[in-house]
Structures are given as C-alpha cells and as structure tokens.
C-alpha cells in the first residue's frame, strides 16, 4: 500500500494551538520523535466510581481481591496505573471482563475524567504538561491532533448516517483542514488503505458489514496522522476470518505509518499477534507487564499463568 499524504495534510500535526497553551506546543509526527523518549507516559492513573473513603484510599489495605471498597462501595476501575509507550510501539492491554481496560483507554482519550494521575505526550508541549489537567478545549485539540481512537462499537466512533468519506472529512476539519479537494483525496487514500472500494466511499457506514465499519473507523482515526492510536476490543464480535483481516490491517498500518498503539483486548491471541509489550490488568491493577513473548512463554503472576494456559 502506498503511503501518500497530500501536501497540505502532511503537516496535519503542526496546526496552531488555540487558548491557554503556547503556540509552540505544536504536535509533531511520530517520525520526528526520538525513539528513546517515550511518546506517552502515564503515572498513577486511577479512576474511582464512588466517593472513596480513608479505608480504600490506602491501597495496601485494600488488597487485590476486589476493585470494590467493602466500606464505602466505591469501584476502583483503575488503580495507580503507570506505564509508557514508545514511538511506533504496540502495547497490549489484556485482562478479563471488568479488569479496567476500557476505563483506562477512556481516561486516556478524555472520554472520562481520571480521578488521579498524570499523562504526558512527548509531541505536545515537549511532554511537560499533565494532559488530564488541560481545559476541555485543549483536550479537544489533543484528541484532534495527537490521538486516534477506535471503539469496539463502531456506533461510538462513526456517524452512521454520514458518508464514509464524510466521516473522514469530519475528523480532518476538526484538525483544521478545510480544502475540499484535498480532503476528498485524503479520504479516498485512507479508505483505499483499509480496502473499502472507492465506489462505496460516499455510502454511509450503516450500509456496511461489521468488519467494514471497523475498517472505516480505523481510517477515520488515522485521518489526522496521529502518532498515537488507541484501539479498544476492535475485533470482538467479528467473525474469525474478518478478525484476521482487521488484525492484518492494524499490523500493516503500524509497519507502514509507524503509529504507536495501545491495543486493548480480553483475547491473548490478539495480543500475541499485535503487541510488542503487554500489560496484564486484574481488578484495576497491573499485575504484570513486559515483553509479550516473555509474558506468554514465562508468565510470573498466577493470574497471567491462568490466562496463558487457557489460551493453550
């Protein structure tokens, strides 16, 4: 596949930043970033649903058997998560249902306001600001210029009644691109990359199969050339053959565009196929993280051992 980006859109990440951030906070593409510096750094990310209390504020007392505080009933969906992601790397996040995977990704994409912690991205203000503390307007800017998101449910990521090219146009316009001809060229290029026939680019995604909708969602998420892509259970619910096609597509995009990705899945098979490094979540806590091969071949934590053995 040819990696063509129209000239005007190639500088997509260099648009000026409105409001309180200084204008030299321009985002840059993944290829401009030193590979030694993490693209994303997350420290102490917690998301608590409920009031919290002195008892559950103390993690050592709470233990890891449950994410629910026995005193105040608060749910700790994520608890003090710390990790980094390097440019072009794929980090897998695996864990059973309710382990906090989706909540973590929602916090990173600002769909939810994290209760605590920090997140920095090296391509935004040189990684010097905690993005969780930015204004709503700046968070919109970061979503539009630095990140892409692919949801398990394509209805969350796509406007089903817009045309597929219109969906991509929406993302480009949000990232300050207004040249109609170039937007259309970019939409055709992206839809071609994800193998949507160009004859169908003006059809709404509601006419498409689940696998096609996921592919349109992926092309929309890539429209602004983000250095960081978040993918939440993107193959869950698809037929096995369609799953394989979407996973192949994700791999080829990563190779071709060098986009860093966080791939969330409850399926270790998906993680094995895609992720360089893997983080295992249980009850909102990281129980193990490391190279995917190492985790699969020599899991240390009993929970990971259970997950890995269930795959065999």
Q: Report yes or no: 228 and 146 within 8 Å, Cβ to Cβ.
A: yes
CA distance 30 to 214: 23
Length of the chain: 312
CA distance 295 to 292: 5
Give the residue with the Cβ less far from ligand ATP, 78 or 218: 78
- Quickly count: other Cβ atoms within 10 Å of residue 63's Cβ: 9
* Nearest approach, Cβ of residue 201 and ligand ATP (Å): 31
Angle in degrees, 0-180, between the axes of helices 210-222 and 164-174, rounded to the nearest 10: 20
* Nearest approach, Cβ of residue 81 and ligand ATP (Å): 11
- Quickly count: other Cβ atoms within 10 Å of residue 65's Cβ: 8
Per CB under 6 A, contacts with ligand ATP among 250-279 are 266
Per CB under 6 A, contacts with ligand ATP among 200-239 are none
* Nearest approach, Cβ of residue 156 and ligand ATP (Å): 13
Give the residue with the Cβ less far from ligand ATP, 98 or 127: 98
Give the residue with the Cβ less far from ligand ATP, 167 or 235: 235
Residue appearing with tokens 């096995």:
240
CA distance 161 to 206: 7
* Nearest approach, Cβ of residue 11 and ligand ATP (Å): 36
194 by Cβ neighbours in 10 Å (0-12 / 13-18 / 19+) ranks as buried
CA distance 294 to 312: 15
Per CB under 6 A, contacts with ligand ATP among 25-54 are 49
* Nearest approach, Cβ of residue 127 and ligand ATP (Å): 26
Give the residue with the Cβ less far from ligand ATP, 120 or 283: 283
Per CB under 6 A, contacts with ligand ATP among 96-115 are 97-103
Per CB under 6 A, contacts with ligand ATP among 74-93 are 75, 77
Select the span of 94-102, 130-138, 200-208, 212-220 touching ligand ATP (CB under 6 A). 94-102
Give the residue with the Cβ less far from ligand ATP, 49 or 162: 49
CA distance 127 to 36: 13
153 touches ligand ATP (CB under 6 A): no
Residues that bind ligand ATP (CB under 6 A): 49, 67, 75, 77, 95, 97-103, 266
């Amino acid at each position: 596949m040819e990696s063509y980006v129209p000239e005007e859109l190639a500088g997509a990440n260099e648009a000026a930043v409105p409001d309180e951030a200084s204008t030299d906070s321009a985002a840059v593409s993944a290829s401009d970033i030193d590979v030694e510096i993490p693209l994303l750094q997350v420290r102490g990310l917690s998301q608590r649903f409920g009031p919290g209390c002195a008892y559950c504020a103390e993690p050592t007392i709470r233990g890891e058997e449950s994410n629910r505080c026995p005193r105040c009933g608060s749910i700790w969906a994520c608890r003090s998560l710390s990790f980094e992601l390097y440019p072009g790397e794929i980090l897998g996040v695996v864990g059973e249902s309710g382990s906090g995977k989706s909540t973590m990704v929602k916090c990173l994409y600002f769909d939810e306001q994290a209760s605590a912690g920090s997140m920095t991205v090296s391509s935004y203000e040189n990684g010097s600001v905690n993005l969780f503390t930015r204004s709503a307007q700046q968070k919109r800017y970061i979503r539009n210029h630095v990140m892409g998101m692919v949801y398990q449910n394509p209805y969350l990521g796509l406007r089903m009644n817009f045309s597929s090219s219109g969906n991509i146009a929406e993302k480009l316009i949000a990232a300050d691109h207004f040249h109609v001809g170039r937007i259309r060229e970019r939409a055709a290029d992206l839809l071609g990359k994800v193998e949507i026939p160009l004859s169908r680019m003006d059809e709404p995604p509601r006419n498409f199969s689940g696998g096609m909708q996921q592919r349109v969602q992926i092309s929309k998420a890539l429209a602004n050339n983000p250095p960081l892509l978040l993918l939440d259970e993107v193959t869950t619910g698809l037929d096995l053959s369609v799953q394989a096609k979407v996973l192949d597509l994700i791999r080829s995009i990563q190779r071709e565009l060098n986009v860093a990705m966080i791939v969330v899945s409850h399926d270790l098979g998906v993680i094995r196929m895609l992720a360089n490094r893997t983080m295992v979540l249980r009850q909102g806590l990281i129980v193990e993280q490391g190279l995917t091969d190492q985790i699969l071949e020599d899991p240390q934590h009993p929970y990971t051992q259970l997950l890995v053995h269930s795959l065999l």
